[in-house]
């Protein structure tokens, strides 16, 4: 297990005006959404590419075959015992570090935090604004912290993708907590609905 990232940066220039955290921004010419939007299909392919399950061999007695052997041979049940080895797959759990990359995060120490945090517990690192974005190969820079934010939409997308790949999910959400009223509680409830674990780190 460990952090994996194979992303490349693609520029994206929205031609809209957006009011975010009280600041009006013209994104048509001078600014670029430097992070790459992650589609539902790409997210599922990404989860499929990760090795997150473990299996082990467990010896056990095959009771049905043992009884059949007992009746067929007339030997004692102990002498008729049939042993076999089965493969047991542990429940797959996907650990995700989810980073809020909206404009308000510019006032937080997220870049320095990312330089020091241990990434090894996570299978996957993703970014979000109103939707999910790929974590860039070069790490997060100040210019990537741009746009509005939503907690519930990207987290719902992530939970649905994990469920389709038969994984439970463990999300560590790094944010400044400046979403819409009650969004953190709703995000926590969404993850709980999918039998996952949600924790937030407020910078």
pLDDT of residue 137: 87
The more confident residue out of 179 and 195 is 195
pLDDT for the residue numbered 25: 44
CA distances from residue 122 to 51, 76, 144, 174 in whole angstroms, order as listed: 12, 53, 21, 13
pLDDT recorded at residue 66: 72
- The proportion of the chain whose per-residue pLDDT surpasses 70, expressed as a percent, equals 70
Q: What value, to the nearest 5°, has the Cα angle with vertex 52 and ends 47 and 54?
A: 145
Q: Which tens digits make up the pLDDT trace of 8-63?
A: 333 333 333 444 444 444 443 333 458 999 999 999 999 888 865 555 555 667 77
pTM of the predicted model over 0.75: no
Determine contact, residues 9/36, Cβ cutoff 8 Å.
yes
45 or 68, greater pLDDT:
45
Q: How do beta strands 17-20 and 23-26 pair? A: antiparallel
| Average pLDDT, rounded, for the chain | 78
pLDDT bucket at 190, cuts 50 / 70 / 90: very high
Residues whose CB falls within 8 Å of the CB of residue 178, separated by 6 or more in sequence, listed in order: 21, 102, 104, 149
User: What are the tokens at 74?
Assistant: 């007339």
**Ranges of each domain in the chain:** 17-51+91-202, 55-89
Q: Are the C-beta atoms of 162 and 47 separated by less than 8 Å?
A: yes
* Residue 86 confidence (pLDDT) above 90: no
Q: What is the pLDDT of residue 29?
A: 36
Please say if the pLDDT value at position 64 is more than 90: no
For the chain, how are helix, strand and coil distributed in percent, rounded to 5? 30, 25, 45
Place of tokens 């974005």: 133
């Amino acid at each position: 297990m460990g952090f994996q990232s194979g992303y490349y940066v693609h520029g994206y220039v929205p031609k809209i005006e957006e009011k975010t955290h009280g600041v009006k921004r013209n994104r048509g010419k001078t600014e670029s959404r430097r992070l790459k939007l992650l589609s539902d299909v790409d997210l599922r392919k990404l989860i499929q590419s990760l090795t997150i399950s473990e299996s082990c061999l467990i010896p056990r007695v095959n009771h049905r075959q043992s009884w059949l052997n007992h009746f067929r041979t007339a030997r004692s049940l102990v002498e008729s015992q049939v042993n076999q080895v089965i493969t047991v797959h542990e429940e797959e759990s996907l650990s995700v570090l989810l980073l809020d990359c909206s404009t308000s995060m510019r006032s937080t120490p997220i870049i320095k935090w990312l330089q020091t945090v241990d990434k090894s517990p996570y299978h996957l690192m993703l970014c979000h604004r109103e939707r999910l974005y790929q974590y860039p190969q070069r790490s997060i820079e100040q210019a990537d912290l741009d746009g509005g934010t939503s907690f519930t939409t990207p987290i719902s997308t992530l939970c649905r993708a994990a469920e389709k790949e038969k994984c439970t999910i463990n999300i560590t959400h790094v944010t400044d907590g400046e979403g819409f009223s009650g969004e953190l509680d709703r995000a926590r409830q969404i993850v709980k609905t999918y039998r996952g674990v949600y924790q937030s780190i407020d910078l």
